[in-house]
Chain A
Amino acid sequence: GQNIDQPTEMTATEGAIVQINCTYQTSGFNGLFWYQQHAGEAPTFLSYNVLDGLEEKGRFSSFLSRSKGYSYLLLKELQMKDSASYLCAVRDGDSGAGSYQLTFGKGTKLSVIP
Protein backbone atom coordinates (compact mmCIF):
# COMPACT_ATOMS: atom_id res chain seq x y z
CA GLY A 1 0.00 0.00 0.00
CA GLN A 2 0.94 3.64 -0.11
CA ASN A 3 0.72 6.47 2.40
CA ILE A 4 1.33 10.11 1.55
CA ASP A 5 1.36 12.87 4.17
CA GLN A 6 1.38 16.62 3.71
CA PRO A 7 0.20 19.44 5.96
CA THR A 8 -3.47 20.31 5.69
CA GLU A 9 -3.13 24.08 5.64
CA MET A 10 -0.43 26.74 5.48
CA THR A 11 -0.46 30.52 5.47
CA ALA A 12 2.26 32.75 4.07
CA THR A 13 2.76 36.41 3.23
CA GLU A 14 2.86 37.88 -0.24
CA GLY A 15 6.45 38.13 -1.47
CA ALA A 16 7.72 35.51 0.97
CA ILE A 17 8.98 31.97 0.43
CA VAL A 18 7.02 28.90 1.51
CA GLN A 19 8.00 25.23 1.62
CA ILE A 20 5.35 22.52 1.46
CA ASN A 21 6.58 19.13 2.64
CA CYS A 22 5.44 15.71 1.55
CA THR A 23 6.44 12.35 2.99
CA TYR A 24 5.53 9.05 1.43
CA GLN A 25 5.73 5.33 2.04
CA THR A 26 5.29 3.15 -1.01
CA SER A 27 5.84 -0.44 -2.04
CA GLY A 28 7.80 0.83 -5.01
CA PHE A 29 8.58 4.22 -6.52
CA ASN A 30 8.38 5.52 -10.05
CA GLY A 31 8.20 9.28 -9.71
CA LEU A 32 6.70 12.06 -7.60
CA PHE A 33 4.45 14.82 -8.93
CA TRP A 34 3.25 18.14 -7.61
CA TYR A 35 -0.02 19.63 -8.81
CA GLN A 36 -1.72 22.95 -8.09
CA GLN A 37 -5.49 23.12 -7.79
CA HIS A 38 -7.47 26.31 -7.44
CA ALA A 39 -10.91 25.99 -5.89
CA GLY A 40 -13.39 24.66 -8.40
CA GLU A 41 -10.76 24.05 -11.05
CA ALA A 42 -8.79 21.12 -12.45
CA PRO A 43 -5.38 20.23 -11.02
CA THR A 44 -2.51 21.60 -13.10
CA PHE A 45 0.92 20.02 -13.33
CA LEU A 46 3.76 21.82 -11.54
CA SER A 47 6.71 19.43 -11.35
CA TYR A 48 8.00 15.89 -11.61
CA ASN A 49 10.92 14.28 -9.76
CA VAL A 50 12.18 10.75 -10.23
CA LEU A 51 15.83 11.20 -9.21
CA ASP A 52 17.14 12.75 -6.00
CA GLY A 53 17.76 16.45 -6.08
CA LEU A 54 16.22 19.77 -6.89
CA GLU A 55 14.20 20.64 -9.99
CA GLU A 56 13.73 24.35 -10.58
CA LYS A 57 11.08 25.92 -12.77
CA GLY A 58 10.72 29.65 -12.39
CA ARG A 59 9.36 30.58 -8.97
CA PHE A 60 8.65 26.93 -8.18
CA SER A 61 11.19 24.27 -7.19
CA SER A 62 10.71 20.68 -6.10
CA PHE A 63 13.10 18.49 -4.17
CA LEU A 64 13.19 14.72 -3.77
CA SER A 65 15.05 12.36 -1.43
CA ARG A 66 14.12 8.79 -2.27
CA SER A 67 16.04 7.30 0.68
CA LYS A 68 14.03 9.45 3.08
CA GLY A 69 10.72 9.18 1.26
CA TYR A 70 10.56 12.95 1.29
CA SER A 71 9.81 15.77 -1.11
CA TYR A 72 9.11 19.45 -0.83
CA LEU A 73 7.71 22.13 -3.08
CA LEU A 74 9.27 25.56 -2.71
CA LEU A 75 7.38 28.63 -3.84
CA LYS A 76 9.32 31.88 -4.03
CA GLU A 77 8.12 35.50 -4.34
CA LEU A 78 4.62 34.47 -3.36
CA GLN A 79 1.74 36.11 -5.17
CA MET A 80 -1.92 36.27 -4.18
CA LYS A 81 -2.76 34.02 -7.12
CA ASP A 82 -0.66 31.26 -5.53
CA SER A 83 -3.46 30.71 -3.01
CA ALA A 84 -4.55 27.19 -3.90
CA SER A 85 -4.28 23.56 -2.85
CA TYR A 86 -1.01 21.82 -3.62
CA LEU A 87 -1.17 18.09 -4.20
CA CYS A 88 1.70 15.66 -3.83
CA ALA A 89 1.31 12.42 -5.79
CA VAL A 90 3.42 9.29 -6.16
CA ARG A 91 3.50 6.80 -9.00
CA ASP A 92 4.38 3.42 -7.58
CA GLY A 93 6.89 1.06 -9.07
CA ASP A 94 4.38 -1.51 -10.17
CA SER A 95 2.43 0.85 -12.37
CA GLY A 96 4.94 1.12 -15.16
CA ALA A 97 6.79 4.21 -16.34
CA GLY A 98 4.03 5.34 -18.65
CA SER A 99 1.16 4.72 -16.32
CA TYR A 100 -0.76 7.49 -14.63
CA GLN A 101 -1.93 5.49 -11.64
CA LEU A 102 -1.04 8.07 -9.04
CA THR A 103 -1.61 8.03 -5.31
CA PHE A 104 -2.34 11.55 -4.07
CA GLY A 105 -1.92 13.13 -0.70
CA LYS A 106 -4.95 15.01 0.58
CA GLY A 107 -3.44 18.33 -0.42
CA THR A 108 -2.12 21.40 1.35
CA LYS A 109 -4.34 24.46 1.22
CA LEU A 110 -2.06 27.49 0.96
CA SER A 111 -3.41 30.93 1.79
CA VAL A 112 -1.32 33.90 0.72
CA ILE A 113 -2.06 37.05 2.71
CA PRO A 114 -1.07 40.65 1.95
Chain B
Amino acid sequence: KAGVTQTPRYLIKTRGQQVTLSCSPISGHRSVSWYQQTPGQGLQFLFEYFSETQRNKGNFPGRFSGRQFSNSRSEMNVSTLELGDSALYLCASSSGQGNTEAFFGQGTRLTVV
Protein backbone atom coordinates (compact mmCIF):
# COMPACT_ATOMS: atom_id res chain seq x y z
CA LYS B 1 0.00 0.00 0.00
CA ALA B 2 1.58 3.27 -1.12
CA GLY B 3 2.04 5.98 1.49
CA VAL B 4 1.24 9.65 1.33
CA THR B 5 3.08 11.35 -1.52
CA GLN B 6 3.94 15.01 -1.51
CA THR B 7 5.50 16.83 -4.41
CA PRO B 8 7.81 18.54 -4.83
CA ARG B 9 10.08 17.68 -1.90
CA TYR B 10 12.02 20.93 -2.10
CA LEU B 11 11.17 24.30 -3.56
CA ILE B 12 12.85 27.70 -3.67
CA LYS B 13 10.73 30.71 -4.55
CA THR B 14 11.14 34.48 -4.54
CA ARG B 15 9.08 36.88 -2.46
CA GLY B 16 5.88 37.85 -4.22
CA GLN B 17 5.63 34.66 -6.25
CA GLN B 18 3.02 32.00 -5.75
CA VAL B 19 3.45 28.28 -5.23
CA THR B 20 1.33 25.14 -5.52
CA LEU B 21 2.05 22.02 -3.50
CA SER B 22 0.51 18.63 -4.10
CA CYS B 23 -0.50 15.76 -1.84
CA SER B 24 -1.72 12.32 -2.89
CA PRO B 25 -3.29 10.49 0.07
CA ILE B 26 -3.31 6.79 0.75
CA SER B 27 -5.70 4.96 -1.54
CA GLY B 28 -9.18 4.95 -0.03
CA HIS B 29 -8.53 7.87 2.31
CA ARG B 30 -10.88 10.80 1.80
CA SER B 31 -9.46 13.31 4.25
CA VAL B 32 -6.39 15.42 3.63
CA SER B 33 -5.15 17.92 6.20
CA TRP B 34 -2.36 20.44 5.67
CA TYR B 35 0.07 21.69 8.30
CA GLN B 36 2.89 24.20 8.35
CA GLN B 37 5.92 23.32 10.46
CA THR B 38 8.50 25.91 11.52
CA PRO B 39 11.15 25.74 14.26
CA GLY B 40 9.55 28.56 16.21
CA GLN B 41 5.87 27.67 15.95
CA GLY B 42 5.90 23.91 15.55
CA LEU B 43 3.14 22.23 13.56
CA GLN B 44 0.19 24.50 12.79
CA PHE B 45 -3.05 23.44 11.14
CA LEU B 46 -3.85 25.09 7.82
CA PHE B 47 -7.01 23.34 6.59
CA GLU B 48 -8.68 19.99 6.08
CA TYR B 49 -10.49 18.68 3.03
CA PHE B 50 -12.93 15.79 3.02
CA SER B 51 -14.71 14.59 -0.10
CA GLU B 52 -13.72 17.72 -2.04
CA THR B 53 -15.05 20.10 0.65
CA GLN B 54 -13.09 22.18 3.09
CA ARG B 55 -14.18 20.85 6.48
CA ASN B 56 -12.02 22.92 8.82
CA LYS B 57 -9.73 25.90 8.51
CA GLY B 58 -6.93 27.21 10.72
CA ASN B 59 -5.88 30.77 11.43
CA PHE B 60 -3.88 31.56 8.34
CA PRO B 61 -4.35 34.51 5.97
CA GLY B 62 -6.33 34.20 2.77
CA ARG B 63 -3.08 33.89 0.80
CA PHE B 64 -3.19 30.24 1.82
CA SER B 65 -5.79 28.23 -0.04
CA GLY B 66 -6.42 24.67 -1.04
CA ARG B 67 -8.64 22.30 -2.91
CA GLN B 68 -9.32 18.62 -3.23
CA PHE B 69 -10.11 16.67 -6.35
CA SER B 70 -12.52 13.79 -6.87
CA ASN B 71 -9.67 11.29 -6.54
CA SER B 72 -8.90 12.80 -3.07
CA ARG B 73 -5.62 14.34 -4.21
CA SER B 74 -5.20 17.78 -2.73
CA GLU B 75 -3.29 20.91 -3.59
CA MET B 76 -2.48 23.93 -1.51
CA ASN B 77 -1.57 27.29 -2.94
CA VAL B 78 0.25 30.17 -1.35
CA SER B 79 0.11 33.50 -3.18
CA THR B 80 2.26 36.58 -2.75
CA LEU B 81 4.93 34.66 -0.88
CA GLU B 82 6.62 36.21 2.13
CA LEU B 83 9.92 35.29 3.75
CA GLY B 84 7.99 34.02 6.76
CA ASP B 85 6.28 31.40 4.62
CA SER B 86 9.52 29.43 4.53
CA ALA B 87 8.61 26.18 6.26
CA LEU B 88 8.02 22.47 5.93
CA TYR B 89 4.51 21.87 4.63
CA LEU B 90 3.07 18.52 5.65
CA CYS B 91 -0.09 16.84 4.58
CA ALA B 92 -1.85 14.12 6.55
CA SER B 93 -4.11 11.47 5.08
CA SER B 94 -6.86 9.66 6.96
CA SER B 95 -10.16 7.96 6.31
CA GLY B 96 -11.82 11.03 7.77
CA GLN B 97 -14.39 9.04 9.69
CA GLY B 98 -14.16 7.88 13.27
CA ASN B 99 -11.14 8.09 15.48
CA THR B 100 -8.52 6.76 13.13
CA GLU B 101 -4.89 7.71 12.88
CA ALA B 102 -3.51 10.00 10.21
CA PHE B 103 -0.48 9.29 8.09
CA PHE B 104 1.84 12.13 7.21
CA GLY B 105 3.72 12.62 3.99
CA GLN B 106 7.42 13.51 3.88
CA GLY B 107 6.56 17.15 3.36
CA THR B 108 7.58 19.90 0.99
CA ARG B 109 10.40 22.13 2.18
CA LEU B 110 9.64 25.64 0.89
CA THR B 111 12.29 28.33 1.02
CA VAL B 112 11.34 31.89 0.15
CA VAL B 113 14.23 34.20 -0.72
Cβ A100 vs Cβ B102 within 8 A: yes
Size of B's binding interface in residues, CB under 8 A = 30
Cβ 8 A contact of A100, one of B33, B42, B105, B107? B33
Residues of chain A contacted by B64 (CB below 8 angstroms): none
Size of A's binding interface in residues, CB under 8 A = 25
Cβ A99 vs Cβ B55 within 8 A: yes
Q: Is A102 an interface residue, CB under 8 A from the partner?
A: yes
Cβ B43 vs Cβ A98 within 8 A: no
Main secondary structure of the interface of A (DSSP, over half): loop
Closest residue on chain B to residue A4 by CB atoms: B42
Q: Is B28 an interface residue, CB under 8 A from the partner?
A: no
Docked CA distance A31–B90 (Å): 21
Cβ A43 vs Cβ B48 within 8 A: no
Closest residue on chain B to residue A87 by CB atoms: B43
Residues of chain A contacted by B48 (CB below 8 angstroms): 99-101
Q: Is A19 an interface residue, CB under 8 A from the partner?
A: no
Query: With contacts A99-B48, A99-B55 known, is A42 near B107, CB below 8 A?
Result: yes
Q: For residue A63, give the distance in angstroms from its CB to the closest CB of chain B.
A: 17
Residues of chain A contacted by B33 (CB below 8 angstroms): 100-102
Cβ A98 vs Cβ B90 within 8 A: no
Cβ B101 vs Cβ A45 within 8 A: yes
Docked CA distance A31–B99 (Å): 8
Cβ A45 vs Cβ B102 within 8 A: yes
CB-contacts of B21-61 with A (<8 A): 31, 33, 35, 41-45, 48, 50, 55-56, 58
A42-B107, A103-B45 known, 10 other contacts, Cβ within 8 Å: A42-B104, A43-B43, A87-B42, A97-B99, A98-B100, A99-B50, A99-B96, A101-B33, A101-B48, A106-B42
Measured CB to CB, the residues of A under 8 A from B are 31, 33, 35, 41-45, 48, 50, 87, 89, 95-107
